[in-house]
């Protein structure tokens, strides 16, 4: 009976051992990679597709660029002082006018009737005053006549009293006759005093009455003058020299009193009106300097007025020229204004780019020395102008950063550049 032979196994590395070892190494490498990637995410992109710029140390000019619109130095509104129906239009929109030029004519039948009534009232009061003055003059003559008669009566009574007194002393007349003569004399004196008092009272009354009548007549005249002035207001006139910028009126149109028909642009000078983002509202004040360039010439401005209202995220300012004006300047033209917000300062600067919209200026991707990758770094941005952002901390002059948009990078901490 034969016995099985024990086969000795060969010592050393076998094929399956190599496979197991390679798998283990691959597993370890994968674990390391996963561990590293959990701490820092990576995005790969081509370097040529990015905008890369160097951080510089230079002068930061604190200004903003805003569009400004040319407007007349002032605008005078054309409001109707008297309503009516448009009868004629003499001057069309856009034409030059001088102060007092009749722009259009209105018709108001009720106003004409009112003027006729005022004229009738004036004639009536004037006639009444003349009649009263005649009566007052006649009364004055009558009073003078009464005074003369009273004076004469006193003289006669006095003479009779004197005669009777002398005759009574000589006992040539009865005592009763003397007493009657004396009583008549005393009565005439008292009547004379009453006559004088009456004349004084009549004079005062006539003066007051005449004053009241004069005032009434003057008021009637003023009322008529005002009515005639209202009639003149039916001729709508230019309030100032300038250009008729707007006219909302048509023949036959009914216009109400106080209604705005248009405006007159005063073209003795011009101003620049601009809208500024509300972000700058605390820094924009009167007297700030500004400028713009036209045909290789700089023209100076300063802010004359800052309007307090904020509408749609913007507020308005008016700027006036500090020197020469451009040739052929016209209302409605648009200039790009450079508004100085502060004095120049030496600062670390980063060029403006699309990165700011993605990060809000809180961080950027900074390139390594070889330019093969960029790492996210927190920074702090200060002021800004149309070319640069002022870097307060986080970057140094000479470093390079990606300034193009970060929209494709997501939340990756590191950018590998090919």
DSSP-based three-state secondary structure for 301: strand
Q: What is the pLDDT of residue 136?
A: 80
Q: Counting beta carbons within 10 angstroms of the beta carbon of residue 323, is it exposed (0 to 12), middle (13 to 18) or buried (19 or more)?
A: exposed
Q: Counting beta carbons within 10 angstroms of the beta carbon of residue 185, is it exposed (0 to 12), middle (13 to 18) or buried (19 or more)?
A: buried
Among residues of the chain, what percentage have pLDDT more than 90?
Answer: 37
Please tell me the distance from the alpha carbon of residue 308 to that of residue 303, in angstroms, as a whole number.
14
pLDDT-based confidence at residue 178 (cuts at 50, 70, 90):
confident
Q: What is the pLDDT of residue 409?
A: 87
Determine the average pLDDT of the residues in 46-70.
92
The model's pLDDT over 29-42, given as tens digits with 9 standing for 90+, comes to 666 555 444 455 78
Please tell me the distance from the alpha carbon of residue 170 to that of residue 236, in angstroms, as a whole number.
96
CATH of domain 40-62+345-417: 2.40.420.20
Tokens of 133: 């003055």
The model's pLDDT over 312-332, given as tens digits with 9 standing for 90+, comes to 999 999 999 999 999 888 888
Q: What is the pLDDT of residue 200?
A: 86
Please tell me the distance from the alpha carbon of residue 318 to that of residue 290, in angstroms, as a whole number.
11
Determine the average pLDDT of the residues in 294-303.
92
Determine the average pLDDT of the residues in 378-382.
93
The model's pLDDT over 129-140, given as tens digits with 9 standing for 90+, comes to 788 778 888 888
Q: What is the pLDDT of residue 16?
A: 61
Q: What is the pLDDT of residue 68?
A: 95
Q: What is the pLDDT of residue 310?
A: 93
CATH of domain 65-106+234-342: 2.40.50.100
Tokens of 184: 């008549």
Cα–Cα nearest to 141, from 71, 202, 209, 51: 202
Q: What is the pLDDT of residue 89?
A: 92
pLDDT-based confidence at residue 15 (cuts at 50, 70, 90):
low
The model's pLDDT over 255-293, given as tens digits with 9 standing for 90+, comes to 898 898 889 999 889 999 999 999 899 999 999 999 999
Q: What is the pLDDT of residue 12?
A: 54
Higher pLDDT, 342 or 400: 400
Higher pLDDT, 251 or 23: 251
* pLDDT greater than 80 at residue 234: yes
Of the chain, the end-to-end C-alpha distance in Å amounts to 76
Q: What is the mean pLDDT of the chain?
A: 86
* pLDDT greater than 70 at residue 405: yes
Q: What is the pLDDT of residue 125?
A: 75
Q: What is the pLDDT of residue 54?
A: 94
The model's pLDDT over 95-131, given as tens digits with 9 standing for 90+, comes to 999 999 999 999 888 877 877 787 777 778 778 778 8
Domain ranges of the chain: 40-62+345-417, 65-106+234-342, 110-232
Higher pLDDT, 9 or 238: 238
* pLDDT greater than 60 at residue 50: yes
* pLDDT greater than 50 at residue 363: yes
Check if the beta carbon of residue 293 is closer than 8 Å to that of residue 34. Answer: no
Q: What is the pLDDT of residue 1?
A: 44
């Amino acid at each position: 009976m034969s016995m099985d032979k024990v086969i000795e196994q060969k010592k050393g590395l076998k094929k399956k051992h190599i496979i197991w070892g390679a798998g283990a190494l691959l597993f370890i490498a994968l674990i390391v990679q996963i561990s590293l990637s959990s701490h820092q995410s990576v995005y790969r992109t081509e370097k040529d597709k990015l905008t890369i710029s160097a951080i510089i140390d230079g002068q930061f000019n604190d200004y903003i660029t805003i569009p400004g619109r040319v407007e007349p130095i002032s605008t005078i509104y054309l409001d109707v002082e008297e309503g009516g129906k448009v009868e004629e239009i003499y001057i069309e929109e856009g034409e030059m006018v001088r102060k007092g030029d009749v722009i259009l004519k209105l018709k108001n039948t009720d106003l004409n009737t009112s003027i006729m009534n005022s004229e009738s009232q004036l004639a009536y009061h004037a006639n009444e005053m003349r009649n009263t003055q005649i009566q007052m003059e006649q009364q004055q003559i009558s009073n003078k006549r009464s005074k003369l008669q009273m004076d004469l009566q006193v003289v006669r009574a006095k003479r009779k009293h004197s005669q009777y007194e002398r005759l009574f002393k000589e006992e040539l007349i009865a005592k009763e006759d003397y007493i009657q003569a004396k009583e008549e004399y005393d009565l005439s004196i008292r009547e004379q005093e009453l006559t004088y008092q009456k004349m004084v009272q009549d004079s005062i009354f006539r003066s007051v009455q005449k004053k009241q009548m004069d005032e009434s007549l003057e008021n009637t005249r003023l009322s008529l003058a005002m009515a005639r002035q209202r009639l003149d207001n039916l001729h709508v006139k230019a309030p100032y020299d300038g250009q008729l910028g707007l006219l909302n009126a048509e023949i036959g149109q009914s216009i109400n009193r106080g209604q705005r028909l248009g405006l007159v642009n005063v073209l003795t000078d011009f101003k620049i009106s601009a809208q500024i983002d509300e972000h700058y509202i605390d820094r924009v004040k009167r007297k700030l300097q500004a400028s713009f360039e036209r045909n290789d010439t700089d023209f100076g401005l300063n802010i004359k007025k800052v309007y307090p209202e904020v509408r749609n995220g913007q507020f308005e300012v008016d700027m006036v020229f500090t020197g020469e004006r451009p040739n052929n300047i016209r209302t409605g033209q648009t200039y790009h204004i450079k508004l100085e917000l502060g004095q120049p300062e030496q600062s670390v600067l980063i060029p403006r780019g699309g990165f700011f919209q993605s990060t809000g200026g809180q961080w950027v991707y900074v390139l390594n020395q070889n330019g093969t990758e960029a790492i996210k770094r927190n920074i702090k941005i200060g002021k800004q102008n149309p070319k640069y952002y002022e870097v307060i901390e986080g970057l140094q002059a000479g470093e390079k950063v990606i300034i193009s948009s970060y929209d494709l990078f997501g939340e990756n901490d590191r950018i590998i550049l090919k």
